[in-house]
Amino acid sequence: MDGPRHHYAALDGVRGFAALSVMVYHLGHWLDVPGLAVNSGLAVDLFFCLSGYVLSLSYGGRMVGAGSLSMGQFFRRRLVRLMPVIVVATLIGAAYVISRGRLNGTDIPHAAIFMAVVLALLNLPYPWAPHALGGPQVFPLNGPQYSLFLELFINLYWWSLRRVDQRYLAIGMIASCVPLLYVTGLGGDVPATFWSGLPRVGASFFIGVALYRLAPSCPAFMVHSAVFVTCMGIMAILFLWPVEVPRGVEMIWITVFSPLLVLSGARVRLSPGLARLSLWGGEISYPLYALHYPVFCWVNGLFQAATHHRMPMVEMPLVGITVLGVSLAVLKGIDEPVRARLSRRRGGAEATAPRGRAAYPVAGAGVTAPARNER
């Protein structure tokens, strides 16, 4: 394993753990098992923070001046990174809804299914989706896709302001979004909370941008390995805590411990074995996050049809194993090959850069590296 990949593996491990925690929470929620990782929705805010940090690293040198990217070029790169898995997830989800409707005799208007598929493939919300289709989720075929919509939205907003001093932009956005987020609370996945998703993504994404831009002036103790270990422990306890924490605790996570985890994780060196495990976790994290909802629908639907009983302790490991298998198959069989082909057609440095993991910087070094998993 080469030095840089070894050095930045810790943040891949963080992403893998966070994605797995989200799946555990959703399985408990969908199968009516209380107390399972109920605060793991805060992983979404961690993902947004990581995104701001890693995109600043990957594209900071191409924002203005010679070699800069236009809005269209940047948008295309983000679509290449995010959309192959979203397309697969949409097709799996749509196939399930259509099959369930035919078997159960559920009357779902064809126009509604068509609208849900088209909007999902465009990564746009469908806030008026009927309940039989998956409403009130704004992405009825794949509920967690709302965060990917917010991700792409904030990416484009950030790029449209690329000529603004990034330090002042980040500070201004944080100062605007954090108080608003405290008032609105976390949300974005259903129409009633949809607009609260904007300050949510704005706060964490621009905290990540600020981390990258202001890291050189951070005190040394903030990037010590002990800080990373402490923040990892806090994340594990918080995510797995069996009762929902108050909003104030959520805000402390978003503004203090999530940023410290990202900042310190960029400097942690792992043992070779742990680094390989962490890098694999980083590879699988995005497809696992994007695919676990539609895969769950299929496994749960088939299980219920076969047994006519709800057995969460059987279904949960069955779903988990299936999601991991499908995610790995989609990653290696579809996502990576499609992105590699599209990158070769686009040409340039990214056409030959290895894909699948993030090339994270040494915090504060102010260097750029090939983007392998920009999400």
Residue 342 clears pLDDT 90, i.e. is over it: no
Confidence of residue 103 (pLDDT cuts 50, 70, 90): confident
At which residue do the structure tokens 């964490």 appear?
204
Confidence of residue 143 (pLDDT cuts 50, 70, 90): very high
pLDDT at 208: 96
Residue 353 clears pLDDT 60, i.e. is over it: no
Confidence of residue 268 (pLDDT cuts 50, 70, 90): confident
Q: What mean pLDDT is reported for the chain?
A: 87
pLDDT at 215: 79
pLDDT at 124: 97
Q: How far apart are CA 170 and CA 203, in angstroms?
A: 9
Compute the 3-state secondary structure of the chain and give helix, strand, coil in percent, each to the nearest 5: 75, 0, 25
Confidence of residue 346 (pLDDT cuts 50, 70, 90): low
CB 133 within 8 A of CB 64: no
Confidence of residue 347 (pLDDT cuts 50, 70, 90): low
Residue 361 clears pLDDT 90, i.e. is over it: no
Confidence of residue 232 (pLDDT cuts 50, 70, 90): very high
Q: How far apart are CA 76 and CA 64, in angstroms?
A: 17
pLDDT in tens, 177-228: 999 999 999 999 999 999 999 999 999 999 999 999 887 777 777 778 899 9
CA dihedral of residues 22, 27, 32, 33 (deg, nearest 10)? -80
Query: What mean pLDDT do residues 37-59 have?
Result: 95
CA distances from 261 to 97, 112, 150 (A): 39, 42, 22
| Cβ count within 10 A of residue 103 | 10
pLDDT at 375: 53
Residue 330 clears pLDDT 90, i.e. is over it: yes
Query: What mean pLDDT do residues 78-92 have?
Result: 96
CA distances from 228 to 74, 163, 220, 232, 375 (A): 32, 33, 13, 6, 21
Residue 46 clears pLDDT 80, i.e. is over it: yes
- 124-133, 177-186, 262-271: which has the minimum mean pLDDT? 262-271
What 93-100 contacts at long range (C-beta under 8 Å, 24+ apart), as own/partner pairs, is 93/120, 93/134, 93/141, 93/142, 93/293, 93/294, 93/297, 94/120, 94/141, 96/294, 96/297, 96/298, 96/301, 97/133, 97/134, 97/141, 99/301, 100/301
Which one, of 302, 333, 341, 339, lies nearest residue 318 by Cα?
Answer: 302
Burial of 319 (0-12, 13-18, 19+ CB in 10 A): buried
